[in-house]
A and B are shown apart, each in its own frame.
Chain A
Amino acid sequence: DVKVTQSSRYLVKRTGEKVFLECVQDMDHENMFWYRQDPGLGLRLIYFSYDVKMKEKGDIPEGYSVSREKKERFSLILESASTNQTSMYLCASIAEREGGEQYFGPGTRLTVT
């Protein structure tokens, strides 16, 4: 079974803190993704990566950065957390370039106070 794990299920941070969200997949997938999920807005793509050290902006990259130093690990970084970044963050990975299933982690619920 493909497994995608995220470092925390719940996280509370203060405004202005630097926040790291970690995602690890164990199936040697090339492509990894970070989404945020908000009520009434569905899932929105923040960043994705198709290879080690490669990254592409998604639909809402502002205020975020990412790091992919190893194939299995994809990190989302909030350089200076703000209250409007309070959300559920979901990581996903996929093996195929086209039309394949994305496997999701359980999510990290981040609250910025």
Chain B
Amino acid sequence: GDSVTQMEGPVTLSEEAFLTINCTYTATGYPSLFWYVQYPGEGLQLLLKATKADDKGSNKGFEATYRKETTSFHLEKGSVQVSDSAVYFCALSGRSGYSTLTFGKGTMLLVSP
């Protein structure tokens, strides 16, 4: 079945550091790929998405590129801020017809001033 593997956290960075959170997936067919973010005490919200190979999703300075050859969708940001501290979830939508999502386990990011 479908699965998503993302790096374990917490990831601890200083403000303005470069961020990479790795995500790889296993799926049949051609899934859509997502990054969701969960700020403390809140539900999840979509950060970015890509629906086909070589697509790049971007939002709020974050980017991720859909790499079919390596089955990866790594999240990057050039300069993190304290306000980026949150839990980040990689997900795929592969079960056709109902848009169900398969999530990774989440990676906590802690950014210090």
Does B22 sit at the interface, judged by CB under 8 A? no
Contacts A40-B105, A42-B103; is A105 near B96 (CB within 8 Å)? no
- A48 CA / B101 CA spacing, docked (Å): 11
- A48 CA / B98 CA spacing, docked (Å): 9
Q: How many residues of B contact A (CB 8 A)?
A: 24
Q: Are B99 and A102 in contact (CB under 8 A)?
A: yes
Least distance between B108 CB and chain A CB atoms (Å):
10
B103 contacts which chain A residues (CB < 8 A)? 35, 42-44
Determine the main DSSP class of B at the interface with A: strand
Q: Are A31 and B46 in contact (CB under 8 A)?
A: no
**In-complex Cβ contact of A90 among B43, B96, B97, B104 (8 A):** B43
Q: How many residues of A contact B (CB 8 A)?
A: 28
Contacts A98-B93, A104-B43, A105-B43; is A58 near B100 (CB within 8 Å)? yes
A107 contacts which chain B residues (CB < 8 A)? 42-43
**In-complex Cβ contact of B99 among A40, A98, A105 (8 A):** A98
Interface residues of B in 13-60 (CB under 8 A from A): 32, 34, 36, 41-46, 49, 51
Q: Are A42 and B105 in contact (CB under 8 A)?
A: yes
A50-B97, A106-B42 provided; 4 other pairs, C-beta below 8 A? A43-B44, A43-B101, A45-B102, A92-B44
A-B contact pairs, 11 of them (CB 8 A): A41-B105, A42-B105, A42-B106, A43-B106, A90-B43, A94-B99, A96-B99, A99-B49, A99-B99, A102-B101, A107-B43
